[in-house]
């Protein structure tokens, strides 16, 4: 079983080399072949001199390395490399469109009808209201092949197009890299499973199962990335923003001058002053009423207290009644004498 252990080590080394080589898409088939040869040379002599079963592991590892270059696949079948100029490009399309419409809600509904009619769907929708109207933001997913026509129809049928921005990200190399990694990981897993079926000792079984678990986790991550790239390249993303129509800004009036302008200004000043005075009076009137009532109460109370505090006048005889000891005055008539 030591030969089987050497085979596992050789297969693990081949897997590491394959992962490193598949990270760079500029490598050629000859480089992959030389990498496989180096793996075979790096294997211990026992692995090279092993029987058909153990030796097939090293050969399979070398074959897995060759499968990334386009010469032969893991099964040894010959396949012709695809010329770069004829390979289909993988591009992620995104666009942001802003339009102005009289009815924002109706324009958003019209956009949904256009996209669903083209085979797309709504992935996100938001709406908000503000002082000058409402706003709608809708994100669509549409087939990449129909994306240019849908974008043009949205800008033409919804209202006045205000702005548009388009981005195209070429991910052809990344897609090819991930596809190559997935194929290599699957081939490596198949070889590990073959070794597991031939292992007889518990230590060897545990070691191979640990390697299989790690390779399965790597394969799942690669497949998830592969699915994500496939979805992004198959469907374009269009973000539509619908705004209300812009209102015309009124022109500022020029200030007038002359006698009539001064008369109007004076009249407005008089009216404003009168309004201010009446406002102040209305605010003070309740307080004045309260102060007046209090002042009247204090005045009445003060007068009443003064009357109570004043002394009573003494009793005197009548002025026209004569006293007993007072002699009466008899009037004397004037005398007349005749001259001699």
Handedness of CA 79, 85, 86, 88 (dihedral sign): positive
Distance of alpha carbon 56 from alpha carbon 247, whole angstroms: 78
Token readout for 312 is: 């009573």
**Structure token digits, residue 9:** 């080590």
Dihedral of CA atoms 21, 25, 27, 33 in degrees, nearest 10, equals 50
Specify the pLDDT at position 109.
93
Query: Which phi and psi (to 5°) does residue 330 adopt?
Result: -105, 130
CA 332 to chain centre: 131
Q: What is the mean pLDDT of each run of 10 residues along the chain (340 residues)?
A: 52 52 39 36 38 40 40 41 56 94 92 93 90 88 92 91 92 91 90 85 86 89 92 92 79 69 84 91 89 89 82 54 54 53
pLDDT of residue 131: 76
| pLDDT at 15 (0 to 100) | 54
- Tell me the per-residue pLDDT of 216-226, one tens digit each, with 9 for 90 and over: 899 999 999 99
pLDDT, position 104: 92
Please give the pLDDT value at position 328: 53
Give the integer Cα–Cα distance in Å for 130 and 152: 28
Tokens of 241: 């923003």
One-letter-per-residue 3-state SS of 20-69: HHHCCCCCCHHHHHHHHHHHHHHCCHHHHCCCHHHHHHHHHHHHHHHHCC
Q: Please give the Cα distance from 244 to 120 (Å, whole number).
A: 25
* Nearest residue to 180 (alpha-carbon basis) of 225, 145, 143, 142: 225
Task: Check: CB of residue 56 under 8 Å from CB of residue 76.
Answer: no
Q: Please give the pLDDT value at position 173.
A: 92
Model pLDDT, residue 236: 94
Per-domain boundaries in the chain: 2-82+173-233, 91-171+239-244
Q: Is 108 helix (H, G, I), strand (E, B) or coil?
A: helix
**pLDDT number for residue 336:** 53
| pLDDT for the residue 116 | 93
Q: What is the DSSP letter of 87?
A: S
What's the pLDDT score for residue 254? 66
DSSP secondary structure string, 114-170?
A: HHHHTT-EEEEEEEEEETTEEEEEEEEEEETTTHHHHHHHHHHHSSEEEEEEEEEEE
**Any idea which fold 91-171+239-244 has?**
Alpha-Beta Plaits (3.30.70)
């Amino acid at each position: 079983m030591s030969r089987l252990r050497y085979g596992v080590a050789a297969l693990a080394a081949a897997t590491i080399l394959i992962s490193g080589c598949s990270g760079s898409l500029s490598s050629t088939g000859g480089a992959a072949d030389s990498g496989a040869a180096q793996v075979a040379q790096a294997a211990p002599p026992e692995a090279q001199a092993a029987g058909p079963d153990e030796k097939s592991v090293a050969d399979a590892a070398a074959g897995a390395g060759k499968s990334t270059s386009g010469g032969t696949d893991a099964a040894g079948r010959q396949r012709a490399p695809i010329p770069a100029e004829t390979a289909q490009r993988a591009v992620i399309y995104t666009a942001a469109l802003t339009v102005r419409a009289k009815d924002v809600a109706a324009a958003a509904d019209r956009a949904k009808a256009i996209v669903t009619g083209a085979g797309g769907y709504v992935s996100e929708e938001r709406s908000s209201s503000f002082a000058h109207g409402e706003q709608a933001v809708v994100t669509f997913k549409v087939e990449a092949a129909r994306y240019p026509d849908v974008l043009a129809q949205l800008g033409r049928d919804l209202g006045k197009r205000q702005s548009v921005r388009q981005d195209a990200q070429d991910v052809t190399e990344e897609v090819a890299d991930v596809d190559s990694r997935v194929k290599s990981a699957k081939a490596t897993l198949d070889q590990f499973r073959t070794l597991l079926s031939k292992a007889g000792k518990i230590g060897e079984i545990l070691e191979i199962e640990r390697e299989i678990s790690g390779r399965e986790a790597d394969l799942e991550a690669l497949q998830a990335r592969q699915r994500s790239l496939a979805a992004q390249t198959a469907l374009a993303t269009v973000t539509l923003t619908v705004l209300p129509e812009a209102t015309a800004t009124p022109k500022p009036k020029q200030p007038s001058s002359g006698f009539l302008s001064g008369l109007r200004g004076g009249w407005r000043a008089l009216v404003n002053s009168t309004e201010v005075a009446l406002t102040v009076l209305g605010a003070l009137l309740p307080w004045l009423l309260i102060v007046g009532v209090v002042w009247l109460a204090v005045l009445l109370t003060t007068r009443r207290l003064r009357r109570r505090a004043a002394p009573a006048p003494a009793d005197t005889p009548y002025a026209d009644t004569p006293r007993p000891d007072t002699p009466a005055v008899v009037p004397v008539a004037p005398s007349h004498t005749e001259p001699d």
